[in-house]
Amino acid sequence: MDNKIFSETKQKIEQSVASHQLRKAFSLAQSLAYGMSRPRVAEDLAAAEQTYRFMLDYASKGVEDPGRAEMARSLGSTILQAVDSLERENLLPDSAGYYFSTLRYEQLQRYDTIASLAEEYRKTVAAGSMFGFVNNAMDSDSVREALRNREALEIRIFNRLWVSHPLSSDDLHTATALLSSDATPVHFRHMLIWALTLGALEYYDERRLLAVLDLADNANDTLRAAAIIASMLMMHRGKLHGFSPRVLDRLALLGDDATLRENVRTVYLELVKTIDTDRISRKITEEIVPEIMKFRPKIDMGKLPSDPEELEENPEWMDMIEKSGIGDKLKEMNEIQEEGGDVMMGTFAHLKAFSFFNEPANWFRSFHTDYSEFTGADAKLHQPIADMISAMPMLCDNDKFSMMMTVRQIPPQQRDLMLQQVQAGADQFAQMQAASLSGLDTPANAIRNTINKEVQNLTRFYKLFRRKAELHNPLTSELNFLSVEPLRRMITETDTIAVAATFYFKHGYYPEALEAFGLLTDSDRWRNDDQIYQRIGHARQKLGDYEGAVEAFLRAELLNPGSDWTLRRLARALMAAHRLDEAVERWKVLEERNPESASVALNLGRCYLELERYDEAIGQYYKAEYLDEKSGKALRPLAWCLLASGDLEHARKYYQKIITTLEPIPADYLNMGHLALAEGRFMEANNFYSLNIDSRTRQADSAGSPSGNGNDSARCRQERRNEAVDSFIADMKSDTPVLRRLGVDPALVPMLIDHLLYAL
């Protein structure tokens, strides 16, 4: 079946299930099954639909059925699972996506099963424990080969587990046995969690979720952090399926653990921050680093004092840093770090080209010094480096692998120098971290740091993996755990929501901020906080929802009538919503409170101008000009009001002042043309209108980019000239009512336009 048709139909089915219209969902799903010549799937769907019809029949007769809601959920999930299976079957033969390429390869390995691969892996681990490797054959290349074989098996099992759908009972049993066995190395158990998760993110399978949930209270921080993050992502992916009583019971049991609830909230906040990773990386690579590099040639770095306090004592150095702007950039970088922003991804983005990162499994491999490439004949050289990198708390696992592989390629002399610098940085980071913790090296801090690094591993994979576009990426703006009811109950501790809401708001993610603020306003603690409604109003205004902004600012005004900030924002929102009379009332209150404010006078004048109350507008603009003569902000609206009210003499005075004291803009020439036309000076009017078109064209030319050849440039300039003419004609038509009030015959306007165009 055509992939586009299938995809569109699947989307309709998902929408139908989400809106509880199962009759429509059954019909569409059966049409897909018949369209792909899969009558068995269609028959199974028909049987499920018959169950649904029986349920509806009982409901219509008023029969009590406490299991009705669960049955409806289960039937919806049945439809979605059937559609997923049909889609996999439809895409499998021809899809070039990485998931399906891997699936086709695994299907060719007919004699390999997850169970047989797991058994081979157990034997490999038992035959060559790392204790034996390290103590008996540290410098042996055979050790490296044995480790390579083990790692190859880890990748095979990871891939097989990833693309198997749905998981058979045997496969699930094998996976859970590996996950629960202490004989399985921790780094491989960690990989298995993500193999299960990546599979569920492509095609949801509740059994994967249950297997991972069993590790959410594991004693090992790495496994616990991975399991909590993975479970939350799977639940978000499967929210349309709903959750069976088994999952809900397991979550209820876990939810009784206060520590686990706190970990869930930590994961939520860490994943919220991932939405900002691209912005941080761009800011660092495009703004901060270039500014630092521009500053570097201006000074002799060798003469910089090594002691920061000595630098502060030298006013010349401090003055140079301030003038260069580098101080602001470094301060900004520090603020990003203090917020927990991922400042390292941009740095390590260019170090993911090693073949190691071609395998998805390796992005989820915990850094361990017994990795094959760090052992063998040259282990004495590599192991100390691996030990040092392993101890760096600021790096996540796959960044540590990047660092190790980069260091191995550097000549020894430069490598030693670089490692000294890196070690110094690591020591400084450790000291800062120790100081910030004030000696509170608690288990809670440890798991929090582990969660942070685990999220960074995940972010690296979905941002930097070479074939990332072919996989379902959960880390998008659509990631909203508050829409998953079981998680929502664990997350909606108001302090947590307040932190997330503030983060979203500060960085301009307004839809997400509004949802979080909405939860806050439902709570007793925040319901009467005017600042929450101020932020809601600001966010709605930024999104163009001016009526919503007005509503929020009105609530903030009710809670705190004395806030000038709220009153200003409310007045502006009322203006944007074209509720001008109400806006005037607010600006008048502000005028009483701030009689010397030029800004208030300007805004009040603008309201009167839009209401065509020109005399009152003129009064406000005169006041604004008196209070803030230097800025000249009042000149243009004042001149227009004088013109529109028919005071041509004073209008001419102010337009002449505009031309001589400000840099003229196209509107100035247009309005001076109107003034000349109203005074009967037609030639002068034509000259100003011509200047309007010329000015518009120059503006467009300066904004446009030059083309590759002269003819192209001439054509582009002519197009911009034509656009300037069209804009001029539109403005003339718009201003015709004003010209009519000034005594200009409306029938004359199009004639003047044509006369001008003939002359151009």
Instruction: Give the 3-state secondary structure of 285-339.
Output: HHHHHHHHHHHHHHCCHHHCCCCHHHHHHCHHHHHHHHHHCHHHHHHHHHHHHHC
* CA–CA distance, 643 with 742 (Å, rounded to integer): 8
* CA–CA distance, 556 with 392 (Å, rounded to integer): 48
Are 6 and 90 contacting, i.e. CB atoms less than 8 angstroms apart?
yes
Are 175 and 189 contacting, i.e. CB atoms less than 8 angstroms apart?
no
Q: What is the pLDDT of residue 421?
A: 61
Q: Identify which has the larger pLDDT, 710 or 23.
A: 23
Q: Is the pLDDT of residue 130 over 80?
A: no
Same domain? 116 vs 245: yes
Least confident of 27-36, 320-329, 569-578, 630-639: 320-329
Instruction: Give the confidence band of 131 by pLDDT, cuts at 50, 70, 90.
Output: very low
Same domain? 673 vs 759: yes
pTM: 0.79
Q: Identify which has the larger pLDDT, 332 or 19.
A: 19
- Percent of the chain predicted with pLDDT > 70: 84
Q: Identify which has the larger pLDDT, 747 or 525.
A: 747
Instruction: Give the confidence band of 680 by pLDDT, cuts at 50, 70, 90.
Output: very high
Mean pLDDT of 413-432: 61
Q: Is residue 415 part of a domain?
A: yes
Token pair for 738: 């004003």
Token pair for 638: 């004042």
Q: Is the pLDDT of residue 483 over 80?
A: yes
Are 209 and 172 contacting, i.e. CB atoms less than 8 angstroms apart?
no
Q: Is residue 494 part of a domain?
A: no
Same domain? 251 vs 148: yes
Q: What is the pLDDT of residue 137?
A: 45
Q: Is residue 712 part of a domain?
A: yes
Same domain? 114 vs 190: yes
Mean pLDDT of 692-721: 75
Q: Is residue 620 part of a domain?
A: no
Q: What is the pLDDT of residue 306?
A: 44
Under 8 Å CB-to-CB from 36, ≥6 apart: which residues? 1, 86, 89, 90
Sign of the dihedral through C-alpha 48, 54, 58, 60: positive
Q: What is the pLDDT of residue 311?
A: 45
Mean pLDDT of 2-18: 95
Mean pLDDT of 36-42: 95
CA dihedral 75, 77, 80, 84 (to 10 degrees): -130
* N-term to C-term CA, the chain: 59
Q: Identify which has the larger pLDDT, 680 or 142.
A: 680
Are 252 and 245 contacting, i.e. CB atoms less than 8 angstroms apart?
no
Mean pLDDT of 312-322: 51
Last residue of a domain, one of 275, 295, 329: 275
Q: What is the pLDDT of residue 188?
A: 96
The per-residue pLDDT for range 261-275, each reduced to its tens digit, is 999 999 999 998 888
Q: Is the pLDDT of residue 708 over 50?
A: no
Q: Is the pLDDT of residue 202 over 90?
A: yes
* E strand segments, 317-460: none
Q: Is the pLDDT of residue 360 over 70?
A: yes
Size of the chain in residues: 760
Q: What is the pLDDT of residue 706?
A: 45
Sign of the dihedral through C-alpha 169, 170, 174, 180: positive
Nearest to 133 by CA among 120, 146, 119: 146
Mean pLDDT of 487-503: 87
Same domain? 232 vs 359: no
Tokens 């003034």, located at residue: 675
- Percent of the chain predicted with pLDDT > 90: 63
Q: Is the pLDDT of residue 717 over 50?
A: yes
Mean pLDDT of 129-145: 60
Q: Is the pLDDT of residue 227 over 50?
A: yes
Q: Number of C-alpha atoms within 13 angstroms, CB side, residue 237?
A: 23
Token pair for 153: 């098996």
Q: Is the pLDDT of residue 391 over 50?
A: yes
Kindly report the number of other CB atoms within 10 A of residue 518's CB atom: 14
Same domain? 165 vs 34: no
Q: What is the pLDDT of residue 587?
A: 96
Least confident of 378-382, 395-399, 500-504, 565-569: 378-382
Same domain? 126 vs 245: yes
* CA–CA distance, 370 with 150 (Å, rounded to integer): 11
Q: The domain containing residue 754 runs over which residues?
A: 663-760
Are 289 and 349 contacting, i.e. CB atoms less than 8 angstroms apart?
no
* CA–CA distance, 460 with 420 (Å, rounded to integer): 26
Instruction: Give the confidence band of 393 by pLDDT, cuts at 50, 70, 90.
Output: confident
Q: Is the pLDDT of residue 438 over 50?
A: no
Q: Is residue 413 part of a domain?
A: yes
Q: Identify which has the larger pLDDT, 394 or 331.
A: 394
Same domain? 129 vs 260: yes
Same domain? 213 vs 109: yes
Mean pLDDT of 276-297: 65
Q: Is residue 303 part of a domain?
A: no
Q: Residue by residue, what is the 3-state secondary structure of 478-500?
A: CCCHHHCHHHHHHHCCHHHHHHH
Q: Is the pLDDT of residue 315 over 90?
A: no
What is the count of structural domains for the chain? 4
Q: What is the pLDDT of residue 133?
A: 47
Q: What is the pLDDT of residue 158?
A: 97
Instruction: Give the confidence band of 322 by pLDDT, cuts at 50, 70, 90.
Output: low
Q: Is the pLDDT of residue 122 over 80?
A: yes
Same domain? 81 vs 109: no
Q: Is residue 635 part of a domain?
A: no
Q: Is residue 29 part of a domain?
A: yes
Q: Is the pLDDT of residue 496 over 50?
A: yes
Last residue of a domain, one of 41, 62, 91: 91
Q: Identify which has the larger pLDDT, 214 or 310.
A: 214
* CA–CA distance, 243 with 252 (Å, rounded to integer): 12
Under 8 Å CB-to-CB from 636, ≥6 apart: which residues? 658, 667, 668
Is residue 215 classed as helix, strand or coil in its secondary structure?
coil
What does pLDDT average to over the chain? 86
Q: What is the pLDDT of residue 327?
A: 58
Mean pLDDT of 126-155: 73
Q: What is the pLDDT of residue 338?
A: 59
Q: What is the pLDDT of residue 347?
A: 75
Q: What is the pLDDT of residue 427?
A: 61
Is residue 569 classed as helix, strand or coil in its secondary structure?
helix
Same domain? 102 vs 162: yes
Same domain? 271 vs 235: yes
Last residue of a domain, one of 275, 292, 326: 275
* E strand segments, 182-318: none
* CA–CA distance, 26 with 196 (Å, rounded to integer): 29
Kindly report the number of other CB atoms within 10 A of residue 703's CB atom: 8
Highest mean pLDDT among 62-71, 98-107, 363-372, 391-400: 98-107
Is residue 724 classed as helix, strand or coil in its secondary structure?
helix
The per-residue pLDDT for range 152-168, each reduced to its tens digit, is 999 999 999 999 999 99
Q: Identify which has the larger pLDDT, 623 or 321.
A: 623
